Structure 1
Amino acid sequence: MLYAVKGNKQLKIDEADKSAYLKLGYDIAQEEGGALTTIEVSPSKTVTYAEHRQALDRIAELEAHLAEVKKPPKADK
């Protein structure tokens, strides 16, 4: 089953309706194990999904680095 997702709206759609919903700005998702997984992103987005995913990965990397830097120094006795 495919879903057209935009904001907090999730509409069940057929394969034939996929291109129409993409043109309207919806992302297309598929249900896998009870969760929706995006399989195609609307071309009308200002930031591509790949760029968004790359930014999220970089943020996670920087947060991990910051947590490492903020650790208190070990006291040698």
Structure 2
Amino acid sequence: MPVSEIPAPPPEYDGQINLKDFWRSVTAEVCRGLLGSAHQNPFLVSPSYHYWAPWIGPNTRREDTVLNTEYAVT
């Protein structure tokens, strides 16, 4: 997917993302894909600037919410 096709975050987006929820949804998508299905995957995680989180292990962070600045223009 070209970067130009990734939608901009909504105006109210403050950069906060719950990485535990994000990676849970990615895991569900991968597991669903491995099981195979003739139906559309309801767990699909499409690339977006406002719903993407880095992997930071649970024992190396203070909380589940992190600041995502991938969308920020420098």
The TM-score normalised by the length of structure 1 is 0.26
Higher RCO (C-alpha under 8 Å, 6+ residues apart): 2
Of Structure 1 and Structure 2, the greater strand share is in: 1
Of Structure 1 and Structure 2, the greater helix share is in: 1
The TM-score normalised by the length of structure 2 is 0.26
Q: From the CA coordinates, give the structure whose radius of gyration is larger.
A: 1
